[in-house]
């Protein structure tokens, strides 16, 4: 364990778990470590899901499955799916999610999902990569050297994957269904524009983000925002 930390491996993968929203999430080497700032995104997704009876909820780009785990624990009766393109992440997510009754899929964005979810998703939370490519080398060594680059690389302005997810989400969302993403403060205007371009009704930092969910995040000013896009009825 000491040698792994000395080599720069993230503490969470050395321990085998990460603290997230008041619970321990299993984390394996080569899987993106869930950030505590993302608890805000999880809280927003929980609040949105609680507005629907037996909601259909999807955690896209799920990584370890941290957000889906919170949703499974906090929204009883929800129909939950999680998906990621990385087989290592999918295996890790399955450890966290299958015992919670969540279906886990492997594939590229929404192509991973079973077709019978098309037009039925009430809440689609997508923690897509949003680091601009030119900034990748500025990240801490723990992230650069021990997490897959695809989990961070958002293209030239950081929003390439978000734009794809927004456009592809529309036929999958139910009428009034909601897409939720996390972006950096500096990307807010461009992210809102991307959701609007996909014909979604976009807004930032919904009040719903204050859902009553346990938190390990003590920094409310961490440079990120939750952005949502709602499919019109």
Q: What's the pLDDT tens digit per position in 112-164?
A: 999 999 999 999 999 999 888 876 777 766 766 667 777 776 788 999 999 99
Total domain count for the chain?
A: 1
CATH code at 143? 3.40.50.150
Per DSSP, the residues of the chain read -HHHHHTT--HHHHHTEEEETTEEEE--TTSPPPPGGGHHHHHHHHHHHTTSSS-EEEEES-TTTHHHHHHHHHSTT-EEEEEES-HHHHHHHHHHHGGGT-EEEESSGGGGS-GGGTTTEEEEEE----B-GGGGGGS-HHHHHHS-GGGTB--SSS-HHHHHHHHHHTTTEEEEEEEEEEEEGGGHHHHHHHHHHTT-EEEES-GGGG-S-------S-SSEEEEEEE---
The mean per-residue pLDDT over the stretch 92-112 comes to 98
pLDDT tens sequence across 39-73: 999 999 999 999 999 999 999 999 999 999 999 99
The predicted pLDDT at position 59 comes to 99
Domain residues for 185?
2-230
């Amino acid at each position: 364990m000491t040698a792994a930390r000395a080599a720069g491996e993230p503490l969470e993968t050395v321990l085998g778990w990460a603290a997230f929203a008041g619970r321990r999430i299993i984390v394996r080497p080569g899987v993106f470590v869930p950030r505590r700032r993302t608890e805000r995104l999880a809280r927003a997704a929980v609040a949105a899901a609680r507005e629907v009876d037996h909601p259909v909820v999807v955690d896209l780009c799920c990584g370890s499955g941290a957000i889906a785990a919170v949703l499974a624990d906090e929204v009883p009766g929800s129909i939950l799916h999680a998906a990621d393109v990385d087989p290592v992440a999918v295996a890790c997510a399955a450890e966290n999610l299958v015992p919670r009754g969540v279906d886990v899929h492997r594939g590229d964005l929404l192509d991973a999902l079973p077709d019978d979810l098309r037009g039925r998703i009430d809440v689609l939370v997508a923690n897509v990569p949003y680091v601009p490519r030119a900034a990748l080398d500025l990240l801490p060594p723990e992230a650069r050297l021990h997490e897959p680059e695809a989990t961070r690389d958002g293209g030239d302005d950081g929003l390439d994957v978000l734009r794809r997810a927004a456009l592809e989400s529309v036929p999958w969302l139910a009428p009034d269904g909601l897409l939720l993403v996390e972006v950096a403060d500096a990307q807010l205007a461009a992210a809102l524009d991307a959701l609007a371009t996909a014909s979604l009704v976009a807004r930032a930092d919904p009040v719903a983000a204050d859902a009553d969910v346990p938190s390990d995040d003590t920094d409310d000013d961490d440079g990120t925002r939750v952005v949502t896009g709602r499919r019109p009825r």
